[in-house]
Structure 1
């Protein structure tokens, strides 16, 4: 694959993700779209999976000179994920998997019914399991892989609502740590990136626009977080430099809290 200079970094610098293929879920907008752009800018070819339209993301990736494969699929559908895993073979396999797709339940516990509970758990926790089952064999075959699961800073805050979402994201952290232990000796790292409140359509719908400024004032870095702020942590966690870091949670929250 090409090793032309990245659009980021110093003159003549080689892309840090050159020769890699990255699979990103929830690629159609927000954090997922920005992750696709950032990975492509670092030299990766990108496979974007989303329930909705991914054409705009594909245009961004291709403008950066990288190969793009857009797949419209429900990440909770095992058959769809199997098809996606097969399609990725034309890219030579998957080196990087970022489980970013998510939904939430912006309701109080009394209004949370079993159907919504199950749907959130399926998308936010079960789907990453299915995707790891589909793509880990590619990584095993080459003895190298990076898995990043996107959690959420909401699990650390004593706020109301989001019962299913918070349960799923805490489960995702536990799943990531367990998987890191299983895959550590196979050249595959598994880490978690946990964003704070970030300016996206999903967050605006769930929290309201005023939440962004409120969150900014409560941070050490007092500005509104945008998807590019999350991409930096993901780029490190998916890089060659992250080969001895696994099972860890990167808090991309601007210093909203410390752990």
Structure 2
């Protein structure tokens, strides 16, 4: 299915990387659901920038009932089931290497928050999308990860662990859902310049990444969004269960 024929849900799409992903799909002609939790005005602005083939829908992705309602609202609005899900939302986390919790201060509740934001939320959207995708014999589920799983240069213990678990979720779902024409993949970026989550990162860190990266620059949200498009496009039709690291070659997995 061409991207222009898809109905795409992007979670956490009111700002940052999620907004760039939503706009990238909109640019290619897809119908887009801009999911948000609190930032209604920003979500509406993203939807308006895409045009009349986008809507903003509020839902807490860790709440199964709210997710189910969001899918129902999207299908009713566009007259077609959601074909593509991008699990992008980042729950209660900022990339602050200076003030992060260390091994002595990290609490299980911190892990729990990130596991719910990564795995539980992705489970909810996958389950909500399953019936419609199976009916169409087509589906694309794209999870957003991090290269810190392969190279934890900054030990964000809770965040890194949540994304590591998401890799396992991605591969397990890919194995089961492939028979229904559904692919499940992951796109893992490095520190992006710049999103709300990375805004507190010192310039020195960005410069260090630039110097250590083969391409000699820091990856942007727009560049990662383009890689997400690949997994939704017909060009990736034989690819599932994979984790593509998009960071300019900093981590070669």
Q: Same fold (TM over 0.5)?
A: yes
Deviation at 1:153, TM superposition (A): 0.7
Q: Which residue of 2 aligns with 1:48?
A: 34
Q: 1:69 aligns with which of 55, 78, 81?
A: 55
Q: Which residue of 1 aligns with 2:197?
A: 202
- What's the CA shift string for 1:120-153, capped at 9, x where partnerless? 1111221111111111211111110111000101
SS at match of 1:156: coil
| Cα pair 2:148 2:154 within 8 Å, conserved | no
Deviation at 1:47, TM superposition (A): 0.5
Q: Which residue of 1 aligns with 2:239?
A: 245
Aligned counterparts, 1:34-183, within 5 A: 34-90=20-76, 91=78, 92-103=80-91, 104=93, 106-183=100-177
Q: Which residue of 1 aligns with 2:97?
A: none
- What's the CA shift string for 1:88-115, capped at 9, x where partnerless? 1122110100000123373212111222
Distance 1:68 1:158, change over 3 A: closer
C-alpha separation between the residues in 2 aligned to 1:52 and 1:198?
A: 22
| Cα pair 2:59 2:66 within 8 Å, conserved | yes
C-alpha separation between the residues in 2 aligned to 1:148 and 1:194?
A: 10
Deviation at 1:57, TM superposition (A): 4.3
Q: 1:226 aligns with which of 183, 195, 220?
A: 220
Deviation at 1:58, TM superposition (A): 3.9
- What's the CA shift string for 1:6-45, capped at 9, x where partnerless? xxxxxxxxx9511211000010111100000000000101
| Cα pair 2:35 2:43 within 8 Å, conserved | no
Q: CA RMSD in A?
A: 1.8
Deviation at 1:54, TM superposition (A): 4.3
- What's the CA shift string for 1:167-220, capped at 9, x where partnerless? 110110111011111111211111100001112120233x43432222111101
Deviation at 1:55, TM superposition (A): 3.7
Deviation at 1:73, TM superposition (A): 2.1
* Unaligned stretches of 5+ residues in structure 2: 95-99
C-alpha separation between the residues in 1 aligned to 2:69 and 2:18?
A: 20
Distance 1:201 1:145, change over 3 A: same
TM-score w.r.t. length of structure 2: 0.90
**Consecutive aligned runs of 4 or more in structure 1 exceeding 4 Å deviation:** none
| Cα pair 2:9 2:35 within 8 Å, conserved | yes
Distance 1:102 1:58, change over 3 A: same
C-alpha separation between the residues in 2 aligned to 1:83 and 1:64?
A: 23
| Cα pair 2:34 2:47 within 8 Å, conserved | no
